[in-house]
Chain A
């Protein structure tokens, strides 16, 4: 008798559990639907406003005080230059630091303190990095408000993220691989270079590209650092002054004329396409390196 009442209870509860399950799944779906909807609305708004402006004239012209003649060439080239500098600098420093922390540093208090601080640095507002860049690169190292100074500033900004991503990629390489190397008489350097890094590389690369594409959308640190907002020339070298896409977009949106708002929307489209290309490159490279193994 006791068993049959228990069984009835179970049946009743089972129905309730199933309902809960359905409701939870529904809530999760609503969450993703809202997120996607926002994205679609945003993209539609931008495309409707800007698509008529995206043409060769827009891509190949410099800013102008007449909205219909304004173009984005200086900002596109500036962005590419700055991101190239930031990418190379943060890759070298970030991967180097990650290798040191994972493979060389002893697991002591000091290392732990560094570790915690790196995690904290990843959360420092980007504008603070702008002030740092202004003081160190622009003034102390006298690089001026150049592409180089801008790239280095953004490199500092994404460095913590790259260090953490690279550390995770390096940590994911099984210890047995390292042991196998050491057991054959490989030095630490040979083990890291020939065995650990090739396996960690896809992960490191993904981290770097994602971090750098975030840097591409940064405006605040470069404004603080002193990037220009009206640049009627393309940067011609690392010491050239420059502007970048987000600053140009920011500048246009703050103008009163509707024509400039269209230009801003068109600029956003160009920025999104560049970001999309970079992310696609990350995915492509990751699969390419996976296949090789």
Chain B
């Protein structure tokens, strides 16, 4: 993988919660306009790794990092970088749908509004909802509360809300774990379409999902008290059919995890 193709990179990235190390020396390149999956057993630090990309770990008291995270070659953790600026360009969708207790329209318009968007808001809301494949279902009740939507619709609304600020990267932290299979398929379909214009990093503990949607897969695990070790990283096809590391093979064939 060439540098130019990579939108996000980590170099010897470690994350600590207090004295506890939860990500250990991860070096990883995330290619532009592709879907990269991070898989691994529970508690292996995959969500923590994901949250390094938009500095969400900073919201946790006494979290600290060593190593580097680069976004388009720039150090995300440089002193001159404001976390708000990063989160504006690197959006995030969470494990549980977390729509704001506002109308569907206001949920989508929230990001653009706080970032000082001046333009046609109706149009932006419509395109964002269309790209998240939610428009047809909600176009007649844009001003109804978002809390009245189903779980799957709420999650697509959260995707639309993220798209409305036009980020370059979308981080997804187990976006389907609270959803039924049909809602999951709808989200995966949206992801595939978005991958043409956006770079997506998804954390998932559903290996079929990683195999179905992602182009690249990183496998993290816990070994000998060390948490968050990157065991293997490569094209998903290769990882799921012909892993080079026997620990990866053991995990994807269901022998542990």
Contact = CB atoms under 8 A, between A and B. Distances in A.
Interface of A: 106-107, 174, 176-187, 190, 194-195, 198-199, 293
A293 B101 contact: yes
A185 B165 CA distance: 9
Where chain A touches its partner, the secondary structure class is helix
Interface stretch (B1-9, B53-61, B184-192, B197-205): B53-61
6 contacts: A176-B96, A180-B98, A182-B87, A183-B162, A185-B114, A185-B115
B61 A106 contact: yes
Given A107-B61, A184-B115, 6 more contacts: A176-B96, A179-B98, A181-B100, A184-B161, A186-B114, A190-B114
B98 A187 contact: no
Contacts of B85: 185
Contacts of B54: 183
B84 A187 contact: yes
A184 B59 contact: no
B110 interface: yes
A177 B59 CA distance: 13
B52 interface: no
A182 B59 contact: yes
B88 A184 contact: yes
Contacts, number: 70
B114 A177 contact: no
Interface of B: 54, 56, 59, 61, 83-88, 91-92, 94, 96, 98-102, 110-111, 114-115, 145, 147, 158, 161-162, 165
Contacts of B110: 181, 184, 186, 194
A183 B111 CA distance: 9
Contacts of A195: 100
A180 B100 contact: yes
B88 A179 contact: no
**Which of A106, A174, A180, A183 is the most central at the interface, judged by chain B CB atoms within 10 Å of its CB?**
A183
B54 to A, nearest CB: 7
Nearest to A199: B101
Contacts of A180: 94, 98-100, 158, 161
A16 to B, nearest CB: 46
A177 B115 contact: no
B147 A293 contact: yes
A182 B161 contact: no
A8 B92 CA distance: 62
Contacts of A187: 84, 114
A182 B111 CA distance: 10
B111 A184 contact: yes
A182 B101 contact: no
A293 B56 CA distance: 27
A107 B100 CA distance: 26
A182 B88 CA distance: 9
Given A194-B110, A293-B145, A293-B147, A183 B101 contact: no
A228 to B, nearest CB: 48
Q: Which of B86, B92, B101, B158 has the most CB of A within 10 A?
A: B101
Contacts of A178: 59
B56 A183 contact: yes
A214 to B, nearest CB: 30
Contacts of B94: 176, 179-180, 183
A184 B91 contact: yes
A198 B162 contact: no
Contacts of B84: 182, 185-187
A108 to B, nearest CB: 9
Given A184-B114, A185-B85, A198 B101 contact: yes
A179 B158 CA distance: 12
Contacts of B98: 174, 176-177, 179-180
A177 B100 contact: yes
